[in-house]
């Protein structure tokens, strides 16, 4: 079974802090994705990566950056956290255009 | 651009009732369509999918048919159970260089009472 793990289930940070969210997958998938989930808005794509060191912006990249130094790991970085980045963050991986496999999510609160 | 619209929720049903959650889409090209489900406290998991017009996806008693003429992919189940209480997301992906990234609907919260 594919396993996607995220570094924290719950995180509380202060405004202006630099925040790192880590995601690891164990199935050698080339594609990895970061989405944020907000009530009434569904999931929106922040960034995705289709290979090591390759990344593309999604629909809402402002205020975020990403890093993929190894195939199995995809990090989401909030350079200076703001309260409007309080949300649930979901990581996913896939092979080609196959099924997304999601992690359990990180609920981030910025105060 | 591409978009997915789901019926407004939340939906509350009694056990053994019939379920329909409507989903319509707008896409350039020929998308693949998905239903994902999120149980409380968990990430999303694939429920079913269809990759071309008139395909029917099915799993765990749920069904959805890819209707190109109405650009729809409505989710149905004949008899819901309490364990079906979850959030349901309709989504699409396109081919080409999309790398499989998904466009999601807003999500529909389903609560089933005994």
- Closest-CA distance, B82 to chain A, in angstroms, reads 22
**Are residues A33 and B46, on separate chains, in Cβ contact within 8 Å?**
no
Q: What is the distance in angstroms between the CA of the first residue and the CA of the last residue of chain A?
A: 37
pLDDT digit string, tens, across residues B54-91: 999 999 999 999 999 999 999 999 999 999 999 999 99
Residues of B in contact with A104 (CB under 8 A): 41-43
Please classify residue B62 by burial: count the beta carbons closer than 10 Å to its beta carbon, then call 0-12 exposed, 13-18 middle and 19+ buried.
buried
**Are residues A100 and B46, on separate chains, in Cβ contact within 8 Å?**
yes
Residue A89 contacts B where some CB pair is shorter than 8 Å:
no
pLDDT-above-70 percentage for chain B: 96
Interacting residues of B87 by C-beta distance below 8 A, sequence separation 6+: B37, B38, B107, B108, B109, B110
- Would you say residue A40 has pLDDT above 90? no
Dmax of chain B from CA atoms?
A: 46
- pLDDT at position A79 is 94
Chain centre distance of CA A9: 13
CA angle B91, B97, B103 (to 5 degrees): 15
- The 3-state DSSP class for residue A76 equals strand
Report the alpha-carbon distance of residue A74 to residue A48 in Å, rounded. 9
């Amino acid at each position: 079974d594919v396993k996607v793990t995220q570094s924290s289930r719950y995180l509380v940070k202060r405004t202006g802090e630099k925040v790192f969210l880590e995601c690891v997958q164990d199935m050698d998938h080339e594609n990895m994705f970061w989405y944020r989930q907000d009530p009434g808005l569904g999931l929106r794509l922040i960034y995705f990566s289709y290979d090591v060191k390759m990344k593309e912006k999604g629909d809402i990249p402002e205020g975020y950056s990403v890093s993929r130094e190894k195939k199995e790991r995809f990090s989401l970085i909030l350079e200076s956290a703001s309260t409007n980045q309080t949300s649930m963050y979901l990581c996913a991986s896939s092979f080609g255009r196959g099924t997304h496999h999601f992690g359990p999510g990180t609920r981030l609160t910025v105060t | 651009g591409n978009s997915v619209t789901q019926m407004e929720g939340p939906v509350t049903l009694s056990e053994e009732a019939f379920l329909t959650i409507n989903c319509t889409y707008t896409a350039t090209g020929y998308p693949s369509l998905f239903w994902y489900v999120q149980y409380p406290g968990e990430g999303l998991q694939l429920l079913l999918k269809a990759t071309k017009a008139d395909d029917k996806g099915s799993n765990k008693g749920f069904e959805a048919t890819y209707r190109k003429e109405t650009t729809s992919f409505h989710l149905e189940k004949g008899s819901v159970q309490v364990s079906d209480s979850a959030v349901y997301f309709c989504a699409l992906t396109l081919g080409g260089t999309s790398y499989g990234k998904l466009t999601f609907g807003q999500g529909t919260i389903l609560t089933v009472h005994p």
